[in-house]
Amino acid sequence: MDGLTIPISLAHKVAFLSRASAYGLRDEQVECRETHMSWVFLVGQDVYKLKKPVRLAYLDFSSVEKRYHHCLAELTLNRRLAADVYKKIVPITCSGGELAIDGRGEIVDWLVVMCRLDDSQTLERALLERRLTTRQLDPLIEVLARFYRRASSVAPSPDTFLAQWRRSLRENEVVLLDHRLDLAAPVVRRLHQVQRRFLDQRSALLVERCRRIVDGHGDLRPEHIWLGPPVRIIDCLEFNQRLREVDPLDEIAFLSIECARLGGAGYGDYIERRLCMALPDTASDQLFAFYRCYRATLRARLSIAHLLEPSPRTPAKWRRQTGAYLALATANADRLEHMMNRSLAAGGDGTGPRSSHA
């Protein structure tokens, strides 16, 4: 697949896919959306996703063959939580200088074909429009509990797991303290200090979770969740298995943080409590506070890192979003530090079960 004789630019492919004629249609409107890693084309009841030929520290879409394998992984992995959404993958072909979808000629790229879903039914929209009830979350909680119970186990060694955590905390700190981003250094340093203290003093809590690590979703945000019925969850991180290898409680804490950012902290707490009851284990309040603090810090880093790109899109959005995540990280750092201090004063190790009021 890499021995292509016809160089076709991304811009050429995007222009082709932006026309109704590419799909054998005449008057149908084609809606185009650009993301960090893909172009998405909404046509009637279908969605076509084209991966950009990018190579980053955490993914490699640099060749047609690699994009093919990632498209196949996206199809397979996302069918775990959205079986009826992910339909197939099809090639973009070129013959006589003309592009076609699944036509004759040389394969110049690949598309993931999905069913189009109603954006108004996402958890994100329900939170933003203040029309969510806890009862609507119960089917989602059942789906997630079943998913985590059935997910493939990973089980890294304790030493490897703790080393990964130290590296992740350091990566967050390095980016957030980059002088070009002009963030409040004392805030960033304190977040790092509290999280490092937890890692140093409460590592037993994380080691205990090693046997619970699974091949999860990796990007469990409200914008990827359709409440249904049926519940569907799309856009898992197909491009990097390591980023999908998570403690289910860490991923649940991530969803909780995202709900809080959208103004639905109470709903995030509800999801945490109910999933803890549904899963065959428990977690301490300190562990959940650490996971929330870390996830908010990580999201702040990923948001602000857009401004380090040569020509970032919507820079004001990323600064605003980073500020929201740092505020959430700070609130959870305060809570975590208070719990660690209280536990130390009481002579405990913080490994007790999670309270029902966390």
pLDDT, tens digit, for every residue of 136-174?
Answer: 999 999 999 999 999 999 989 999 999 999 999 999 999
Sign of torsion over alpha carbons 283, 289, 294, 295: positive
Q: How far apart are CA 296 and CA 224, in angstroms?
A: 18
- Cβ count within 10 A of residue 57: 7
pLDDT, tens digit, for every residue of 61-85?
Answer: 999 999 999 999 999 999 999 999 9
Q: Tokens 């999670």 correspond to what residue?
A: 354
Q: Tokens 């650490």 correspond to what residue?
A: 290
Q: Bigger pLDDT: 346 or 274? A: 274
- DSSP, collapsed to helix, strand or coil, labels residue 339 as helix
The pLDDT of residue 214: 96
Report whether pLDDT(119) > 70.
yes
pLDDT category, 354, cuts 50, 70, 90?
low
- DSSP, collapsed to helix, strand or coil, labels residue 76 as helix
pLDDT, tens digit, for every residue of 197-219?
Answer: 999 999 999 999 999 999 999 99
CA-to-CA separations, 77 to 82, 89, 338, in angstroms, rounded: 9, 13, 40
The pLDDT of residue 57: 83
The pLDDT of residue 56: 86
The pLDDT of residue 355: 47
- Written as six digits, the tokens of 161 are 């797991």
Q: How far apart are CA 354 and CA 350, in angstroms?
A: 10
The pLDDT of residue 3: 47
Q: With pLDDT > 70 as the criterion, what percentage of the chain qualifies?
A: 95
Residue 115, H or E segment: strand 106-115
Are the C-beta atoms of residues 274 and 252 closer than 8 Å to each other?
no
The pLDDT of residue 65: 97
Are the C-beta atoms of residues 50 and 14 closer than 8 Å to each other?
yes
Q: Tokens 């079986």 correspond to what residue?
A: 83
Are the C-beta atoms of residues 77 and 69 closer than 8 Å to each other?
no
Report whether pLDDT(311) > 90.
no
pLDDT category, 350, cuts 50, 70, 90?
low
pLDDT, tens digit, for every residue of 132-146?
Answer: 999 999 999 999 999
pTM of the model: 0.91
List of E strands, 21-79: 30-34, 38-43, 46-51, 55-56, 59-60
Sign of torsion over alpha carbons 344, 345, 350, 354: negative
Could you tell me which of 80, 74, 87, 73 has the C-alpha nearest to residue 115?
87
Q: How far apart are CA 321 and CA 41, in angstroms?
A: 26
Instruction: Kindly tell me the number of DSSP H helices and DSSP E strands found in the chain.
Output: 12, 12
Q: Which amino acid is at 131?
A: R
Could you tell me which of 59, 46, 56 has the C-alpha nearest to residue 90?
46
Could you tell me which of 60, 73, 69 has the C-alpha nearest to residue 109?
69
Q: How far apart are CA 95 and CA 100, in angstroms?
A: 8
Q: What domains can you pick out in the chain, each with its CATH number?
A: 10-116 (3.30.200), 121-346 (3.90.1200)
pLDDT, tens digit, for every residue of 295-310?
Answer: 999 999 999 999 998 8
The pLDDT of residue 353: 55
- DSSP, collapsed to helix, strand or coil, labels residue 232 as strand
Q: With pLDDT > 90 as the criterion, what percentage of the chain qualifies?
A: 86
Could you tell me which of 294, 286, 288, 282 has the C-alpha nearest to residue 341?
286
Average pLDDT, the chain: 93
Q: Tokens 């979003």 correspond to what residue?
A: 321
Could you tell me which of 268, 46, 226, 44 has the C-alpha nearest to residue 121?
226
Q: How far apart are CA 65 and CA 72, in angstroms?
A: 11
